[in-house]
Amino acid sequence: MESDTRKADFIKWLLSTYPYLNYEINAFFKYLLYNQSVLKFIEFSDHVEYAPRGIWISLQPDTEPFFKYYKDQYTYQSIEQAFHDFRLNVMRHKLTFFLEIEVSDYFLKASHLNVFQENPYVPLYMTDLKKLDQETLSISKEAFRRYLMNEIDHALDQGKFSHLDQMAHTLEKLME
Per-residue pLDDT averaged across 134-163, rounded? 86
Q: What is the CA radius of gyration of the chain?
A: 23
For the chain, give the percent of residues with pLDDT over 70.
97
Per-residue pLDDT averaged across 134-139, rounded? 83
Q: Show Cβ contacts of residue 148 under 8 Å, excluding neighbours closer than 6 positions.
A: 167, 170, 171, 174
C-alpha 43/C-alpha 45 separation (Å) is: 6
Q: Are 22 and 129 in contact (CB under 8 A)?
A: no
Confidence of residue 126 (pLDDT cuts 50, 70, 90): low
pLDDT tops 90 at residue 99: yes
Segments of 25-86 assigned E as strands: 42-44, 53-58, 67-71, 74-76
First to last CA, the chain: 42
pLDDT tops 70 at residue 21: no
**What's the pTM value of the predicted model, to 2 decimals?**
0.68
For the chain, give the mean pLDDT.
Answer: 87
| Least reliable range by pLDDT among 72-86, 94-108, 131-145 | 131-145
Confidence of residue 169 (pLDDT cuts 50, 70, 90): confident
Q: Are 96 and 90 in contact (CB under 8 A)?
A: no
Q: Which residue has the higher pLDDT, 1 or 91?
A: 91
According to the model, what pLDDT value does residue 20 have?
A: 65
Per-residue pLDDT tens for 30-57? 999 998 889 999 999 999 999 999 999 9
Q: Which residue has the higher pLDDT, 141 or 127?
A: 141
C-alpha 4/C-alpha 87 separation (Å) is: 17
How far is Cα of residue 61 from the mean position of the Cα atoms in its chain? 17
For the chain, give the percent of residues with pLDDT over 90.
34
| Edge-to-edge strands, sheet with 74-76 | 42-44, 97-102, 53-58, 67-71, 74-76
